[in-house]
């Protein structure tokens, strides 16, 4: 197997493709069995692939005929021999079946990846958004941050 130049970007590209296709198995393929996720949505954390599968099935199933395109911005990573830590800004845009953008949000993501045999797998994921202290509401569009 050839060496991946940037395992972080490789994982993000696989994530983007799986989300667009609403392919739960492809989505889970980037993750390690020991996965822990600190997600921005609904739950405090998720541990393991079963919890991640449940979230992905619910998310993709809730879309119906809509689909989501994930755009990646400001991706940066640091790599050692067996670990990669990367961060990026992801923009999730939902589209109607006829291709019209119907909603969008920005999300900050940090991934920790470890080499498992000849593959790189995400073992930690953390997503976040800044919070407006006056209202206590998450700011989900970068242009809203002053």
Mean pLDDT rounded to a whole number for the chain: 91
Q: Which of 141, 121, 125 is nearest to 39 (CA)?
A: 125
Residue 68, SS3? strand
Residue 134: predicted pLDDT: 86
Segment holding 83, helix H or strand E: strand 83-95
Say which residue, 127 or 18, is predicted with more confidence: 18
Q: pLDDT confidence of 75, banded at 50, 70, 90?
A: very high
Q: Where are the domains of the chain?
A: 7-144
Mean pLDDT of the 31-44 span: 84
What is 7-144's CATH topology? Nuclear Transport Factor 2; Chain: A, (3.10.450)
Q: What is the pLDDT of residue 12?
A: 98
Of residues 118 and 35, more confidence is placed in 35
Per-residue pLDDT averaged across 45-51, rounded? 90
Q: What is the pLDDT of residue 146?
A: 53
pTM as predicted: 0.89
pLDDT at position 2 = 55
Contact 74, 88 (CB under 8 A): yes
Q: Which of 2, 36, 43 is nearest to 112 (CA)?
A: 36
Distance CA 56, CA 72 (A): 19
Does the structure show a pLDDT above 70 at 60?
yes
Query: In whole angstroms, how far apart are CA 3 and each of 75, 82, 144?
Result: 20, 12, 40
Task: Provide the phi-psi class of 136: left if phi over 0, else alpha when psi is between -120 and 50, else beta.
Answer: left
Rounded mean pLDDT, 80-95: 96
Report which of 121, 144, 122 is spatially closest to residue 131, judged by C-alpha positions: 144
pLDDT at 1 over 50: no
The label of the residue with tokens 């080499």 reads 115
Over residues 115-142, the mean pLDDT reads 87
Model confidence at 73, pLDDT cuts 50, 70, 90, reads very high
């Amino acid at each position: 197997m050839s060496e991946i130049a940037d395992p972080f970007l490789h994982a993000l590209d696989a994530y983007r493709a799986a989300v667009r296709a609403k392919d739960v198995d492809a989505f889970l393929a980037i993750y390690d069995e020991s996965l822990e996720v600190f997600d921005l949505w609904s739950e405090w954390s998720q541990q393991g692939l079963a919890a991640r599968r449940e979230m992905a099935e619910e998310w993709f199933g809730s879309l119906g005929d809509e689909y989501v395109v994930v755009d990646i911005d400001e991706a940066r990573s640091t790599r050692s021999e067996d670990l990669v830590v990367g961060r990026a800004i992801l923009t999730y845009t939902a589209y109607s079946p006829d291709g019209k953008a119907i909603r969008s949000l920005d999300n900050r993501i940090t991934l920790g990846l470890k080499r498992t045999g000849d593959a790189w797998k995400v073992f930690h994921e953390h997503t976040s958004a800044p919070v407006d202290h006056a209202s206590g509401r998450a700011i989900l569009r970068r242009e809203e941050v002053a």
